[in-house]
């Protein structure tokens, strides 16, 4: 019960890694505030409530800074505090070579995968500067440390998230605000299900991954909890690769 009496804010908590992490936080005593545009976040809240935990959901578009300010305010209104934040909301742009990426696809990826994290961090940091500190974890990707064909926009945004994470750590370490990010490999979620369902993709991917399989969201959540916990008090500005060995060979 590392998070008994504490509250965590999670963006993108409706499904996948966000939901698994919300459930894991609640199982360790945290009160969970979820921001998402996906109404399935209500299901996450109900799952937490059915296990005796406390959670709330506010419809939040991470492209809107005012909406993120309101999400932080809702966390404080519901639970009286906010101790850590997990910025997990994101989109997966269509796979295309660079010269075929449309302006709309690029704009959406920038707005959600990078600007959405930036704006969320602004809202969270303003609170933590007043409260005396806290921990932030951002979801990057293995695409923040390597690149794959036809994934230029996604890789660029995730590299940006990793860089932003380091910049925030440098700026706010002395204010007792720690900022780290995770870099998951292939995780089976609703967003990546089309890859999991493709024999051509999985045959190719599993052949180059020493684990020979994809991860489940529950295998990613524990690292987020650790980075938000007191046990990680001297971890700051780091990118934690969780890829089953994909980048090890």
Which one of the listed residues 154, 172, 205, 240 is annotated catalytic? Answer: 154
> DSSP 3-state assignment of 12?
coil
Q: Give CA–CA dist 159/46, Å, rounded.
A: 34
154 in active site: yes
Q: At which residue do the structure tokens 């938000």 appear?
A: 228
Residue pair 228/177 in contact by the 8 Å Cβ criterion: no
Nearest alpha-carbon partner for 8 in 168, 135, 118: 135
Q: Any idea what DSSP says for residue 14?
A: S
For residue 59, give both structure tokens. 């419809």
* Helix residue ranges per DSSP H, the chain: 16-27, 41-50, 65-79, 103-109, 116-131, 152-172, 193-196, 199-208, 221-228
For residue 134, give both structure tokens. 């806290």
- CA dihedral 93→94→98→102, nearest 10 degrees, is -80
Q: Give CA–CA dist 26/32, Å, rounded.
A: 7
Catalytic residues: 154
């Amino acid at each position: 019960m590392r998070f008994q009496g504490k509250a965590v804010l999670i963006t993108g908590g409706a499904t996948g890694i966000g939901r698994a992490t919300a459930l894991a936080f609640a199982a360790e005593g945290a009160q969970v505030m979820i921001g998402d545009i996906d109404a399935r976040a209500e299901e996450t809240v109900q799952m937490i409530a059915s296990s005796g935990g406390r959670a709330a959901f506010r419809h939040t578009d991470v492209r809107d800074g005012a909406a993120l300010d309101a999400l932080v305010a809702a966390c404080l209104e519901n639970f009286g505090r906010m101790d850590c934040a997990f910025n997990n909301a994101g989109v997966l742009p269509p796979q295309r070579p660079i010269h075929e990426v449309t302006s709309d696809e690029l704009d959406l990826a920038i707005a959600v995968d990078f600007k959405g994290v930036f704006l969320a961090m602004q809202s969270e940091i303003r609170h933590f500067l007043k409260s005396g500190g806290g921990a932030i974890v951002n979801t990057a990707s293995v695409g923040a440390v390597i690149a794959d064909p036809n994934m230029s926009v996604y890789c660029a945004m995730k590299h940006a998230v990793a860089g932003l994470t380091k910049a925030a750590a440098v700026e706010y370490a002395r204010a007792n605000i720690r900022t780290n990010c995770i870099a998951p490999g292939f995780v089976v979620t609703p967003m990546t299900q089309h890859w999991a369902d493709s024999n051509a993709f999985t045959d190719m991917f599993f052949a180059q991954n020493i684990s020979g399989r994809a991860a489940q969201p529950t295998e990613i959540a524990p690292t987020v909890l650790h980075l938000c916990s007191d046990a990680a008090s001297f971890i700051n500005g780091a990118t934690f690769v969780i890829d089953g060995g994909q980048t090890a060979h």
